[in-house]
Amino acid sequence: MRGWPFVGRDEELDIVRSCLRRGEAIGVVISGEAGIGKTRLAQEILAMLGSESCHTEWVTATAALASIPFGAVAALLPAGRLPEGQGLSVLTAAAAQIRGRAMERRVVIGVDDAHLLDEGSAALIGYLATQRLAFVVATYRAGAPVPDTITMLWKDGQAPWLDLPSLPGPAVDRLVDHALGGDVDGVARGRLRSMAAGNPLALRELLSAALEDRTLRQRHGVWHFTGDYRPRGAMRQVLADRLRPLGPQTRLALELLACGEPLPLALLAQLVDLACVDEAEAHGLAVSERAGRRVQVRLAHPLYGEVLRAGLPVSRARQLWWRLAVTLLGTPLRRRDDLLRAALWQVEGGAVVRPDIVRIGARQAIDRADLALAERLARATRDAEPSPDADALLAEVLEYRGHSAEAAAVLPEEPPPGDDLLRWALVRAETMYWGNGDAVAAEQTLALLSGRPGEDLAQGIQSWILLFDGRCAAVLDVAERLLASESASAQALIWAAVAATAAAGFLGRATAAAGYHERGLAIAAARQAELPWGVVELGIARCLASLAMGDLPAAWNVADDGYRQVLSEQSPMMSAGYIGFRGLVECAQGKPASASRSLREAISALEGRDTLRLTRGFLAGLATATALGGEAVSARIWMDRADQAANDANRIFAPWILLGNAWTLAAADRVTDAAVSARYAADLAAGIGLPTVEALARYDVVRLGGSNECHRLDELDAALGTPLSHALATAARGLKHLDGETLSDAALDFARLGQHLLAAEAATCAVRAYRQAGLVGKQALARERAAALRAQCEGAVTPLLNHERISHVLSRREREVALLAVRHSSRNIAERLGLSVATVNNNLARVYGKLGITRRAQLAELLDIPPERTTDDPGLIY
């Protein structure tokens, strides 16, 4: 943790520079709470002024030195003139010494913790400042008694008083990134910001403790929290010092706040005397603030709660939570949060007396995407009051967490009678589909609710199953019936609108997708308090629809805005879907590094909460991004993990996953196999009924050197009529005929859609077409356009971008052998491609002849691959 950068205090530095430039101020006083960075700012000021030819001195005041006259300023005194009660002579001698230094250059004295100065030291510092012999930079801890010296410095405007605020969020982020040296997931970053509350010391202690006990660790290269933070070290000591003078009742008030903050003042008043609250506030340990018509009380710093809870014995903590629970249960429980708190406090207190409230609390935890808490509450409900409804609730939470086998074990196989059928059928259908990939069984289970209460909810879930099973046309049929119903619940309508939005996008129906999204959003926004997931689900559906249609700016904006919005609210766990789909968009944009960061965060965040089994698709996207980044081995590792996560659910993503495999093969220079995989993806998309995905896959076949798909792409463009389908068909024609104008037009079309990678490829190929046609001027313009587009692609590697210099003279097989020959022996190439060594060498001979070279090293140079990566075959001429 050493060597933290100095961040977030530029404004304060500017104030000091201005003071010195004007020459009117005699110093500056820096005030703030413990750990806020007063000392570091003062040291940076002195370092800055020292570099500007000032003479600097540093004085540290301590409680131990306070009993020694002139003890803190001993370094400023002339040698041999230590104070012996002759204060005036000491002042005179010290002033003479400082005056001598000031004749050569300006003297600046930093005084740390000026409120602890002894009288003599304080008098000397004040004298030097008022006589303008030195410019004083003094730090002062907020809340401490203000000594006369400090008052003298800042009164009458002689020294600006800087109340040092908390570090802003971006500055905290810089410190976190510096300390951890890697990607940090959004939830962990938000938690670090919140707990540190802009206090650098708190952040340092927090990180140190969390790293040591491994509650903060890396997964998939992303830092995340794995458990509760247990504070120790300096922060515990700071709080212990502040608690020491308090009475037992005030400490009780603080402990209650630590267990339940923020607490309504009226609730706290039933447990402690309000004078205790006043005392806690007076000592800077608690804060009261208005929230609507309530006054809420919270601890003054988030880490105070962590420290207090860490110091509570288990029995004491249970007692406190139980007292909170009993008191809250005695109120009307009008606020929505009251029910969740009453549920949690009963469980923490070790006695569930109102299982109905705990059950409601579990549902609210689900709404907030806190599935670990939801499972805990659901288990407590089931233990306290066993019932089919309690079984269904626990099974639902387990299914949401991706634990399908356990959910199935909790849920009875046979449908229960009466009112319990609804919840059982909904959960059973989700378990059958997302757990086992059995769409038929899931739909048969939902059919049990036909003509019964809850039929609308069954149809809403059916629309999701149809969507993820790739039956987009059927989704629209179900959704239209539901959205036209006057009796359907808000939840069912939102589910239908979500599924229809995404399905319309996969079918290339932009207007319909926007319409479904607007209809759903009107309902979700009006019922957000009751159904908080609705807006998030609709946002992800809109992103997915835009991605399928190739409108990457729209898709990215929806995903990025949604991600940031969710992190700033009460349910940061909802961020996984947004950040994952943002990563897929970034991958399509040709930004492998950005996509990799986003997708690794999503994959990490989904562990233990992958309700819709999105991890496999994100793994395949990560494999694609890694392959585009030129890391073939890592791409294969991610792709293998995606394959291991396969089940029969989510057919809608299957073509994309096959395309991930295609690009993974391409990164390993197996371009023929890559083209075959891309064609398989296209055929699969056609069979499922996903025309937008088929069009992309057909064009990937072309990009990977396979057969030209012009005819089919023209057919798809005629059927879809989207900007992307038109650009894909145009580019395919341009590549088939090596037509520079057509390729340039396609590059412009791709660029308008944010498809920078496809645009860069088309523009690069246009350069070759113009060169071959002898159009030197157009070739130069195309080269500039291609370079500008490639600059937006974070160094992405594709056959059309990186091997343009050889692709126009070699056959597909020769090109494949050439790319492999840079890294592999002829024998290895033969094994990979299923050829004989003689066939490989014959192809390599033709490559050398066409390119005018004689060795693999020359081939590596032509392809911009360092020679040390080549593997020449001993005994072979080529």
Whether residue 372 is predicted with pLDDT greater than 60 in this model: the reply is yes
Mean pLDDT of 770-780: 90
**Contact status, residue 758 vs residue 731, Cβ threshold 8 Å:** yes
Angle at 682 between CA 678 and CA 688, to 5 degrees: 140
**Crossing angle of helices 756-773/723-737, nearest 10°?**
30
Does the pLDDT value for residue 805 go beyond 60?
A: no
What is the pLDDT confidence band of residue 877, given thresholds at 50, 70 and 90? very low
Confidence band of 556 (pLDDT split at 50, 70, 90)? very high
How big is the chain, counted in residues?
878
Where is 161: in which H helix or E strand?
A: strand 161-163
Which residue has 């990164």 as its token pair? 667
Q: What is the mean pLDDT of residues 785-792?
A: 92
| CATH topology assigned to domain 809-869 | Arc Repressor Mutant, subunit A (1.10.10)
At residue 864, the pLDDT reads 54
Query: What CATH architecture applies to the domain 568-804?
Result: Alpha Horseshoe (1.25)
Residue that the structure tokens 């207190």 belong to: 349
Each domain of the chain, given as residue ranges in start order, spans 10-163, 169-230, 568-804, 809-869
Closest listed residue to residue 264, CA positions, set 242, 291, 234:
291
Q: Is residue 865 very low, low, confident or very high in pLDDT (cuts 50, 70, 90)?
A: low
Q: What tens digit of pLDDT does each residue of 296-326 get?
A: 999 988 878 888 888 889 999 999 999 999 9
Query: CB 283: neighbour CB atoms within 10 A?
Result: 16
Could you read off the pLDDT of 477-507 as tens digits, one per residue? 999 999 999 999 999 999 999 999 999 999 9
At residue 875, the pLDDT reads 35
- State the pLDDT confidence band at 228, using cuts at 50, 70 and 90: confident
Banded pLDDT at 832 (limits 50, 70, 90): confident
Helix, strand, or coil here: 57? strand
Residue 407 — pLDDT band, cuts 50, 70, 90?
A: very high
3-state secondary structure of 219: strand
Question: 21: pLDDT confidence band, cut at 50, 70 and 90?
Answer: confident
Q: Is residue 82 predicted with pLDDT exceeding 70?
A: no
DSSP code for 119: H
State which fold the 10-163 domain adopts: Rossmann fold (3.40.50)
The Cα 443–Cα 445 span in angstroms is 5
Mean pLDDT of all residues in 377-382: 96
3-state class (DSSP) for residue 799: helix
3-class DSSP assignment, residue 583: helix
Q: Which residues of 105-137 are buried (b: 16+ CB within 10 A; e: fewer)?
A: ebbbbbbbbbbbbbebbbbbbbbbbeeebbbbb
Two tokens at 43? 């040291």
DSSP result, 597-609: HHHHHHHHHHTT-
Strand pairing of 161-163 and 107-112? unpaired
Which pair of structure tokens corresponds to residue 469? 């099973």
pLDDT given at position 290: 86
Q: What is the pLDDT of residues 703-719, one digit of tens each?
A: 998 888 999 999 999 99
Q: Is the pLDDT confidence value at 813 over 50?
A: yes
* Alpha-carbon gap, residue 820 to 812, rounded angstroms: 13
Q: How far is CA 861 from the centre of its chain?
A: 40
pLDDT of residue 691: 98
Residue with the bigger pLDDT between 682 and 225: it is 682
Residue 782 has pLDDT above 60, yes or no: yes
**What are the tens digits of pLDDT across the range 129-154?**
888 888 999 998 887 777 777 777 77
How many angstroms separate the CA atoms of 350 and 812, rounded? 70
Question: Which of 622, 684, 607 has the alpha carbon at shortest distance from 651?
Answer: 684
Residue 444 has pLDDT above 60, yes or no: yes
pLDDT mean over 611-621: 95
Range among 179-188, 193-202, 626-635 with highest mean pLDDT value: 626-635
Segment 75-84 shows an average pLDDT of 65
Q: Are 725 and 755 in contact (CB under 8 A)?
A: no
d(CA 195, CA 206): 8
**Mean pLDDT value across residues 349-367:** 93
pLDDT band for position 69 (50/70/90)?
Answer: confident
Per-residue pLDDT at 806: 57
At 671, give phi and psi (nearest 5°).
Answer: -70, -30
Nearest one of 825, 855, 826 to 840, comparing CA atoms: 826
Among 142-146, 424-428, 524-528, 706-710, the range scoring the smallest mean pLDDT is 142-146
Confidence at 94, pLDDT banded by 50, 70, 90: confident
Confidence of residue 870 (pLDDT cuts 50, 70, 90): very low
Q: Please write the tens of the pLDDT for every residue from 188-201.
A: 898 899 888 898 98
Mean pLDDT over 744-763 rounds to 97
